[in-house]
């Protein structure tokens, strides 16, 4: 089985994350898909950034939601790159995209773009938040969705008595997700087997070394999300 390689925020190990430069580098490196993060600007644009504020990845400060698109455009996102909007990424690369949404509002904005541009085949939508996955599934018929495991299990509202790590599988099934994205540091055979029992696709994150890649293959996962372009060419990896 071929392993799907997904560039994490492009190739954030070598380029400024969530920038057009990073996404283009991921495609040129031979990665199969690109993962990115979406937030809404103050004026409703789908901007590509991971954090809820701009402090870490730009020369600006404050919440994304307090900035208009024009204000975000004025910031340096690294090496002179500007904060892109989702539509620009669609035009900049041709590989499939995995778009992570942070809330229901982002799900609704993304749904509009997906329906207008017929992106069901190209874009898989992921989230840590069950309600966001459920909302995009309600709005976009046939959309492929992925639920991401968090660093902390179980969730406070998860089913009592569910073993740590297994609630992600139950939650994915409940919202109709076809994929679970599992933190490699917390990966267990029990969780993998539970996911397989429900015919879920399994993506491991973040996979940056030869040892981590071997673990992904040993568990028989379907894909690996990586910061490193060389994951697309495993022979170039060094342990």
pLDDT band at 157 (very low <50, low <70, confident <90, very high): very low
Per-residue CA distances from 182 to 58, 153, 162, 225 (Å)? 28, 12, 17, 10
Is the pLDDT reported for residue 155 higher than 50?
no
Q: How far is Cα 173 from Cα 196, in angstroms, rounded to an integer?
A: 12
Give the CATH number, domain containing residue 152.
3.20.20.190
pLDDT in tens, 48-62: 999 999 999 999 999
Domain that holds residue 192: 4-236
CA distance between the termini of the chain? 22
pLDDT of residue 154: 44
Q: Are 125 and 97 in contact (CB under 8 A)?
A: no
- What's the domain count of the chain? 1
pLDDT in tens, 112-128: 999 999 999 999 999 99
pLDDT band at 8 (very low <50, low <70, confident <90, very high): very high
Q: Are 208 and 13 in contact (CB under 8 A)?
A: yes
Is the pLDDT reported for residue 169 higher than 60?
yes
State pTM to two decimals. Answer: 0.93
Is the pLDDT reported for residue 159 higher than 70?
no
pLDDT of residue 151: 58
Mean model confidence pLDDT for the chain = 93
Task: Kindly state the percentage of the chain with pLDDT values over 70.
Answer: 92
- Residue ranges of alpha helices (H) inside 85-129 are 86-92, 104-117
Category of 121 on φ-ψ map: left (φ > 0), alpha (ψ -120 to 50) or beta? alpha
pLDDT in tens, 23-49: 999 999 999 999 999 999 999 999 999
- Residue ranges of alpha helices (H) inside the chain are 20-28, 69-73, 86-92, 104-117, 130-139, 167-175, 189-197, 210-218
pLDDT in tens, 127-140: 999 999 999 999 99
Q: How far is Cα 158 from Cα 78, in angstroms, rounded to an integer?
A: 39
Question: Does the CA dihedral 168-208-199-123 come out positive or negative?
Answer: positive
- Produce one character per residue of 151-174: b if its CB has 16 or more CB atoms within 10 Å, e if not: eebbeeebeeebeebbbbbebbbe
* Closest to 177 (Cα-Cα) out of 198, 192, 157: 198
Q: How far is Cα 12 from Cα 17, in angstroms, rounded to an integer?
A: 5
Q: Token pair for residue 129?
A: 């938040």
pLDDT of residue 31: 97
Q: Token pair for residue 168?
A: 């992600």
Q: Which has the minimum average pLDDT: 25-34, 53-62, 158-167, 177-186?
A: 158-167
């Amino acid at each position: 089985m071929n392993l799907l390689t997904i560039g994490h925020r492009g190739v954030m190990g070598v380029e400024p994350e969530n920038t057009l430069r990073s996404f283009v580098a991921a495609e040129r490196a031979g990665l199969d898909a690109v993962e990115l993060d979406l937030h809404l600007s103050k004026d409703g644009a789908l901007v590509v950034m991971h954090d809820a504020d701009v402090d870490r990845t730009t020369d600006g400060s404050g919440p994304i939601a307090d900035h208009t698109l024009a204000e975000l455009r004025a910031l340096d996102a690294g090496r002179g790159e500007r904060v892109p909007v989702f539509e620009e990424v669609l035009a900049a690369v041709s590989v499939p995209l995995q778009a992570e949404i942070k809330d229901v509002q982002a799900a609704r904005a993304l749904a509009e773009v997906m329906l207008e541009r017929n992106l069901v085949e190209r874009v898989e939508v992921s989230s840590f938040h069950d309600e966001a996955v459920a909302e995009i599934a309600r709005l976009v018929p046939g959309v492929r969705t992925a639920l991401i495991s968090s660093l902390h299990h179980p969730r406070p509202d998860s089913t009592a008595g569910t073993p740590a790590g297994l609630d992600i599988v139950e939650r994915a099934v409940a919202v109709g997700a076809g994929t679970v994205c599992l933190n490699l540091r917390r990966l267990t055979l029990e969780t993998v087997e539970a996911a397989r029992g429900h015919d879920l696709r399994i993506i491991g994150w973040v996979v940056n070394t030869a040892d981590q890649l071997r673990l992904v293959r040993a568990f028989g996962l379907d894909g690996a999300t990586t910061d490193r372009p060389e994951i697309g060419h495993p022979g170039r990896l060094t342990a």
